[in-house]
Amino acid sequence: MAMTVRTIFGSACLLGFLALQAGAQIEGAYESIGPIPGKHSLDTVVYEEYINFTCSHCNNFRAAALPIKEKFRDRLRIVYIPILFRGQNDAAMRLFYIAQQQGLEEQMMNALFDATFRYGVNINDPAVVSYLARSAGLGEAYASEAGADWVTQKVEAAMAKAREAGVTATPTVVLQGTVRVLPRGGMQAFVDNLDRLITQLLKEG
């Protein structure tokens, strides 16, 4: 029995060592939340950006991240995942998903950030969100779909995904579902680190 325990323990240690070795294949500042892909092993990288429309850092990241998104273009599969802070109304998230369905995801994301940071309006007020919907030509869609089950499911799925990924602050970027990257050291350091990590994950050439 003791030999079996030692064997199992030894196997566990070996697996732990191999996991560390796999994680060490890419260099940079990140937290592992799953098996890390090998260096230069991916044709495209899934880039999940967790945001909150009232977060000033997320607003600043919009412009700061443009060089990354332009540099890698079709080699990134960008997914925006809005989340809520405690006590926030989910009307803006609902409008975002309705706009997404209409092919207006980025336009609405920018409109929501601009409403908060350029015009200083409260997007936690459903009346404000309704006005933004009308301004974007989505008034009827928002009025009819804001409370729809599919929208509620989108909102709940985004919050569940954030919990599963351990996202507690925004902006947070998760690469390939396993590499969680936080905005530490300032915005430019965050961008430079993302660039470095993505470059290492993608196949060369």
Name all domains of the chain by residue range, CATH numbers in brackets: 2-201 (3.40.30.10)
Helices and strands, counts by H and E, the chain: 9, 5
Please determine, for residue 9, whether its predicted confidence score (pLDDT) is greater than 70. no
Output Rg (C-alpha) for the chain, integer angstroms. 20
Q: Pairing relation of β-strands 31-32 and 76-82?
A: unpaired
In this prediction, residue 205 carries a pLDDT of 74
Q: Pairing relation of β-strands 45-51 and 76-82?
A: parallel
Alpha carbon separation from 60 to 51, 73, 95, 168 (Å, rounded) = 11, 20, 21, 18
State the average pLDDT for the chain: 90
Better-predicted residue by pLDDT, 3 or 70 = 70
- Give the pLDDT confidence of 21-56 residue by residue, as tens digits: 444 489 999 999 999 999 999 999 999 999 999 999
- Give the pLDDT confidence of 59-71 residue by residue, as tens digits: 999 999 999 999 9
In this prediction, residue 21 carries a pLDDT of 41
Please determine, for residue 5, whether its predicted confidence score (pLDDT) is greater than 80. no
- Angstrom distance (rounded) from CA 8 to CA 163: 32
In this prediction, residue 22 carries a pLDDT of 44
Alpha carbon separation from 72 to 61, 100, 107, 116, 200 (Å, rounded) = 17, 22, 21, 29, 12
In this prediction, residue 25 carries a pLDDT of 82
- Angstrom distance (rounded) from CA 145 to CA 94: 9
Q: Is 161 exposed, middle or buried (0-12, 13-18, 19+ CB in 10 A)?
A: middle
- Angstrom distance (rounded) from CA 134 to CA 48: 28
Neighbours of 185 (CB within 10 A): 11
- Angstrom distance (rounded) from CA 77 to CA 94: 22
